[in-house]
């Protein structure tokens, strides 16, 4: 009789546990990160009788979570990559809107400026054309500054996002560490049985963490979940939690750097140490595409200003005075390490735009030698103190550097990051536009060849001498000799020879006294050309204005025109944006599929739970019926005894 009642009671308890678990599943159907639970039960060992073993009912062995580690990890990794591409795509969209926008893109304003210069050269004597050209220069400079400000805003936004992500990562890491401790305590007091809901909560935090940064996990001692960054740096070990720190980086112009703080010790993290998630995307975007865009824009601004300054300084303005610099740009940036000597400084200027490289530089001093490392390719140049120029400077990659450093000091240089932000027009009066050439190009009256000379401009080598007329006389095979045309002492006495050379064309250049001009093709033997001093009209001569206007087609940077360089920048960023967008779409599909697979194995299906509810309800009712029969039999026995 007791065996019958015991079996009935165990059936009631098992059915009740199953009903409670099904009810728990149904209640949490919309709980993020919840995995389905089910009751595991087994039959109780039967009691031996002469006729064999008679069963004693059922016992509940555990309540387990329907958890597939492989599917969960697959979904977590997909979440990290999907978040990474979502964030990167948003950043690249903002960048492309800035570079290609009609209001902030610089190519439109550059084209308008050179169009106004062409109009100025065509209407050289009209004050209105002069003023329009100067106004176009101011508008172009403003457009460069606007684009630079927009890129700076993107950098500030990226740094703010990094700080926000770091705070969220630290909060999630603390939560995982606390859950590790709670799970360990709960499992220890429950004879090793797992606290399923706490495990779900911890997995949900790991999933949220992967949205921010890619991590990997390992289980320790069957209870704690250890969390590591992609490089293997520990973020959570048991209940010991490391924290990310965002701090100023004295050796980089990109912004704050990341450090990992563990037990009071800080380890500097490289960009490769932090991958995946929103943080990985923001760091990569800031340090790569955004940095390149800012540097390239600055380099275009520097080259544009240098070319126009050189040409304007080469000519004569409306007053007959030598032209002045037309533009100024933002200076190169040089940041010293916090450990530098108090008096240390580094003065940097652009010496030659043609040799500039789009890269940051690290400058160090060991007391004997200066070391300049180009960060884009780690190419290093060593400059002994004894080889400095007389003014205490050295030149590398077009940069002129004057160091005042103590042994052990370091500086970081960026040549072009702030150049566009500082692009301004120096001239205030349109009369100061130097439209006239200081000298005239004169063909020899007896020339027989078809060569045409043009584009008298500064050679960039020394200060131009406009006072001496020079005649270039050609011999066979392009050989030529230069004569000082003002030194002819008497009739039939040749002028003084000042140099020789050989023409290489087409459109080859001949340079002397700080100026140069182009020759369209090889002149015939005996042909001559004279660069004549003083033969110009400051208000009516348009040759220097024409030379400035022609810079629109000059290959001034990377073997291309300035507008072509900007177009390449936009194209490169557009290609990268398309690549990221494609990755976003692909990983979005991968994430959706991974979640579907995970949920099909571990999620709550209301139809299934409803069917289980009916089944366990019937089991409970049946066990109750058995208990009622057992009670009735027991009452019958008691009545018979009475």
Beta bridge partners of 532: 440
- Reported as type and span, the H/E element at residue 453 is strand 453-458
| pLDDT band for position 535 (cuts 50, 70, 90) | low
Beta strands 361-365; 439-443: pairing state: unpaired
Q: 480 phi and psi, to 5 degrees? A: -140, 160
pLDDT at residue number 620 = 87
Q: Whole-angstrom Cα distance, residue 317 to residue 433?
A: 5
pLDDT at residue number 488 = 57
| pLDDT band for position 50 (cuts 50, 70, 90) | confident
Cα 543 to Cα 145, 507, 547, 549, 584: the distances in Å are 30, 17, 6, 10, 54
Mean pLDDT score across all residues of the chain: 90
pLDDT in tens, 362-382: 999 999 999 999 988 899 999
| pLDDT band for position 492 (cuts 50, 70, 90) | low
Least confident of 191-205, 421-435, 446-460, 588-602: 446-460
pLDDT in tens, 545-581: 999 999 999 988 888 999 999 999 999 999 999 999 9
Q: Whole-angstrom Cα distance, residue 129 to residue 604?
A: 76
pLDDT in tens, 586-636: 999 999 999 999 988 999 999 999 999 999 999 889 888 888 887 777 777
Biggest distance spanned by C-alpha atoms of the chain: 164
Tokens of 258: 């990341």
């Amino acid at each position: 009789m007791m065996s019958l009642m015991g079996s009935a009671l165990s059936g009631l308890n098992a059915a009740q546990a199953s009903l409670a678990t099904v009810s728990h599943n149904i209640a949490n159907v919309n709980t993020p990160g919840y995995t389905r639970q089910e009751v595991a039960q087994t039959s109780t060992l039967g009691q031996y009788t002469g006729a064999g073993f008679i069963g004693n009912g059922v016992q509940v062995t555990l309540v387990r979570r329907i958890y597939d580690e492989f599917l969960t990890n697959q979904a977590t990794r997909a979440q990290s990559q999907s978040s990474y591409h979502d964030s990167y795509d948003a950043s690249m969209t903002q960048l492309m809107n800035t570079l290609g926008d009609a209001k902030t893109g610089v190519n439109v304003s550059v084209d308008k400026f050179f169009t106004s210069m062409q109009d100025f050269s065509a209407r050289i004597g009209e004050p209105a054309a002069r003023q329009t050209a100067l106004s176009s220069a101011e508008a172009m400079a403003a457009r460069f500054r606007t684009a630079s400000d927009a890129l700076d805003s993107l950098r500030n936004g990226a740094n703010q996002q990094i700080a926000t992500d770091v705070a969220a990562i630290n909060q999630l890491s603390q939560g995982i560490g606390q859950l590790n401790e709670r799970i360990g305590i709960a499992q220890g007091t429950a004879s090793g049985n797992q606290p399923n809901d706490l495990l779900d909560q911890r997995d949900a935090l790991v999933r949220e963490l992967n949205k921010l940064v890619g991590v990997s996990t390992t289980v320790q001692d069957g209870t704690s979940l250890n969390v590591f960054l992609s490089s293997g740096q520990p973020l959570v070990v048991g209940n010991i939690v490391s924290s990310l720190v965002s701090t100023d980086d004295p050796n980089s112009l990109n912004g704050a750097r990341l450090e990992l703080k563990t037990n009071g010790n800080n380890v500097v993290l490289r960009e490769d140490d932090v991958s995946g998630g929103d943080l990985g995307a923001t760091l990569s975007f800031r340090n790569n595409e955004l940095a390149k865009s800012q540097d390239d824009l600055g380099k275009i601004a520097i080259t544009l200003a240098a070319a126009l300054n050189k040409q304007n300084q080469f000519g004569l303005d409306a007053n007959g005075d030598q032209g002045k610099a037309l533009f100024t740009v933002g200076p190169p940036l040089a940041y010293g390490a916090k450990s530098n000597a108090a008096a240390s400084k580094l003065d940097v200027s652009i010496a030659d735009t043609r040799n500039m490289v789009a890269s940051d530089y690290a400058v160090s001093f060991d007391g004997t030698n200066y070391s300049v490392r180009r960060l884009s390719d780690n190419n290093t140049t060593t400059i002994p103190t004894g080889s400095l120029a007389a003014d205490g400077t050295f030149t590398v990659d077009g940069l002129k550097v004057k160091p005042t450093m103590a042994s052990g000091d370091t500086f970081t240089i960026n040549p072009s990051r702030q150049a566009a932000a500082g692009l301004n027009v120096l001239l205030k009066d349109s009369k100061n536009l130097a439209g006239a050439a200081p000298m005239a190009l004169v063909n020899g009256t007896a020339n027989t060849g078809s060569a045409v000379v043009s584009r008298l401009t500064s050679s960039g080598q020394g200060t131009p001498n406009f006072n001496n007329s020079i005649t270039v006389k050609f011999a066979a095979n392009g050989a030529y000799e230069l004569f000082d045309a003002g030194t002819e002492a008497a009739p039939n006495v040749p002028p003084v020879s000042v140099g020789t050379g050989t023409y290489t064309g087409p459109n080859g250049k001949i340079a002397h006294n700080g100026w140069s001009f182009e020759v369209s093709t090889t002149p015939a033997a005996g042909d001559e050309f004279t660069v004549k001093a003083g033969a110009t009209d400051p208000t009516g001569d348009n040759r220097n204005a024409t030379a400035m206007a022609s810079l629109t087609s000059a290959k001034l940077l990377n073997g291309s025109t300035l507008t072509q360089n900007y177009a390449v920048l936009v194209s490169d960023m557009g290609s990268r944006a398309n690549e990221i967008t494609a990755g976003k779409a692909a990983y979005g599909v991968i994430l959706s599929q991974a979640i579907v697979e995970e949920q099909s194995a571990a999620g709550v299906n209301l139809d299934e739970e409803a069917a289980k509810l009916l089944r366990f309800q019937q089991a409970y009712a049946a066990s109750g019926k058995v208990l009622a029969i057992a009670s009735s039999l027991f009452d019958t026995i008691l009545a018979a005894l009475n």
